Amino acid sequence: MNAPDKMFHLPDVQATPDQRQLAIQKVGVKGLRYPLALAAADGAVQHTVAELTMAVGLAPEVKGTHMSRFVEILERPRGALQAADLPALLQEMLGHLQAESGNIDLAFPYFIAKAAPVSGVSSLLDYDVRLQVEQQPGAPIRTTLAVTAPVTSLCPCSKKISEYGAHNQRSHITISAELRQPMAVEELVRLAEEEASCEVFGLLKRPDEKWVTERAYDNPKFVEDLVRDIALRLMAEPRIGRWSVASENFESIHNHSAYAELCGENV
């Protein structure tokens, strides 16, 4: 028997029955990096690198899934991953692994060019983004987009009780939205930035620094204000179903963060 013939006669231990009769909700691969191409709000294509988690549900009588098949799916001729192709890729994954449920989760940096408010100088700012597609038995595919935007928040209490000045901090606002219709990353980012005391920039000149300092001072917000104001915007967005918004304020006068989270679902 030659080497190729031996390969086809090797035992498949993963396909043998399992006697414990315990279903596993998610089993697959994690930490897999792959190129990703995304359509930006202006129609341009941004190339980045995503870290993938690919998982399926495992029936109670099956010992294990075939891990190599997840990578095989990615390596089929298609070039960089496209966000619009993820639902089809999910269906392909479920069929290839003979599963009824599964999800594909991508985490990646996304860069937006921003112009400074006064000087107009342009610089790139990076945002952490997650994109997930999920299939459950008898249910439609769910697509969830999540962004984390760095912003400035200024304390209303500090401003009120101080004769001059007020303490502020950098905050991370994370919005997660189950999409009924497509939305660009930039749209969720702008929603977060517009409701903050002030947005942040990669590059500022002195007139810009004056502007952002005064903008934050004129627009103080508690961490509770941030999530409530953003929640009102999310509730008015028909393209979103279930959603959540969280803000972590990295306090400048404490060695801990202030945190708030608010969740909901649009009917």
Q: Residue 5: its pLDDT value, please?
A: 59
Query: Is residue 14 included in any domain, yes or no?
Result: no
Residue 205, number of CB atoms within 10 A of its CB: 13
DSSP of 143-159? EEEEEEEEEEEE-HHHH
Q: Is 107 exposed, middle or buried (0-12, 13-18, 19+ CB in 10 A)?
A: middle
Residue 87, number of CB atoms within 10 A of its CB: 16
Query: Is residue 7 included in any domain, yes or no?
Result: no
Query: Is residue 4 included in any domain, yes or no?
Result: no
- Number of domains composing the chain: 1
CB 266, CB 235: distance < 8 Å: yes
Task: Give pLDDT tens digits along the chain (267 positions).
Answer: 565 555 567 887 877 888 899 999 999 999 999 999 998 888 889 999 999 999 999 999 989 898 999 999 988 867 788 888 899 999 999 999 999 999 999 999 999 999 999 999 999 999 999 999 999 998 999 999 999 999 999 999 999 999 999 999 999 999 999 999 999 999 999 999 999 999 999 999 999 999 999 999 999 999 999 999 999 999 999 999 999 999 999 999 999 999 999 999 999
Query: Is residue 197 included in any domain, yes or no?
Result: yes
Query: Is residue 248 included in any domain, yes or no?
Result: yes
- Rounded to two decimals, what is the model's pTM? 0.90
**Length of the chain counted residue by residue:** 267
Name the residue range of residue 39's domain: 20-265
CATH code for the domain in which residue 188 is found = 3.10.270.10
Query: Is residue 5 included in any domain, yes or no?
Result: no
Query: Is residue 255 included in any domain, yes or no?
Result: yes
Query: Is residue 103 included in any domain, yes or no?
Result: yes
Q: How far apart are CA 221 and CA 200, in angstroms?
A: 15
Q: How far apart are CA 251 and CA 50, in angstroms?
A: 30
Q: How far apart are CA 244 and CA 260, in angstroms?
A: 11
